[in-house]
Chain A
Amino acid sequence: MSPEGFKTRSAQALRDKHLGQAINNATQRFAEARVHAFSDEDELNALREQGRQIKDAALHNLPLLLHRLEQQVTARGGRVFHAADAQAANDYILGVARRKYARIITKSKSMTTEEIDLARILEEDEIEVVETDLGERIIQLAREKPAHIIIPAIHKTRKQVSELFHRKLGVPKSESIDELTKAARATLRKKFLQANIGITGGNFLVAETGTLVIVENEGNARLTTALPKTHIAVVGIEKVIEKMSDLPTMLKLLTRSATGQRISSYISLITGPRRAGEPDGAEEFHLVLLDNGRRRIHRDAKLREVLRCIRCGACLNVCPVYKLIGGHAYGGVYPGPIGSIVTPLLGNENTGTELPSASSLCGACKDVCPVKIDLPRLLLLLRARLANRAPAGLFEQIAFKAWALAMGSPRRFALARKVARKFYRLTSGRVPYPLSGWTESRTFPEPAEQSFREWWETEHERRH
Chain B
Amino acid sequence: MNAAIKSSKTRFAERLQAVDGHVTTVQSPTAAARAVKTILKDGGAERVAVDACDTLRALDLPKALGSNKIEWILGSADKNELATCDAGITSADFAIADTGTLAFLSGKGLSRSVSLLPPLHIAIVPINALVEDLDTVLAQVLDAGEMPSCLTLVTGPSRTADIEQVLTIGVHGPCALHVILLKN
Contact = CB atoms under 8 A, between A and B. Distances in A.
B164 A279 contact: no
Nearest to A27: B165
B22 to A, nearest CB: 15
Interface in B148-184: 148-166, 168, 170-174
Interface in A253-304: 259, 261-281
Interface string B65-88: 000000000000101100100000
Contacts of A278: 106-110, 149
A98 interface: no
Interface residues of A, number: 69
A387 interface: no
B162 A247 contact: no
A263 B152 CA distance: 13
Interface string B118-145: 0000000000000001110011001000
A52 to B, nearest CB: 19
B163 A181 contact: yes
A210 B162 CA distance: 31
Q: Which of B133, B152, B157 has the most chain A CB atoms inside 10 A of its CB?
A: B152
Contacts of A211: 147
B155 A268 contact: no
B171 A181 contact: yes
- Determine which residue in A177, A261, A275 has the highest number of CB atoms from chain B within 10 A of its CB, and name it: A177
Centre residue among B148, B150, B154, B155 by max chain A CB count within 10 A: B150
Contacts of A209: 142, 146-147
Contacts of B147: 209-211, 244, 269, 271
Contact of B83 (A151, A193, A273, A276): A193
A247 B150 CA distance: 15
Interface in A151-179: 151-154, 156-158, 161, 177-178
B80 A193 contact: yes
A269 B163 CA distance: 28
Interface in B5-58: 15, 19
Contacts of A133: 162
A244 B143 CA distance: 12
B99 A262 contact: yes
B131 to A, nearest CB: 12
Contacts of B109: 277-279
A189 interface: yes
Contacts of A318: none
A272 B156 CA distance: 26
A259 B154 CA distance: 17
B94 to A, nearest CB: 13
B89 interface: no
B148 A271 contact: yes
B171 A177 contact: no
Most chain A beta-carbon neighbours within 10 Å: one of B79, B101, B146, B161 = B161
23 contacts: A30-B165, A135-B160, A135-B162, A158-B164, A177-B168, A188-B172, A209-B146, A226-B112, A244-B138, A251-B134, A265-B158, A268-B150, A269-B151, A269-B152, A270-B149, A271-B146, A271-B149, A273-B149, A278-B109, A280-B77, A280-B79, A280-B112, A280-B113
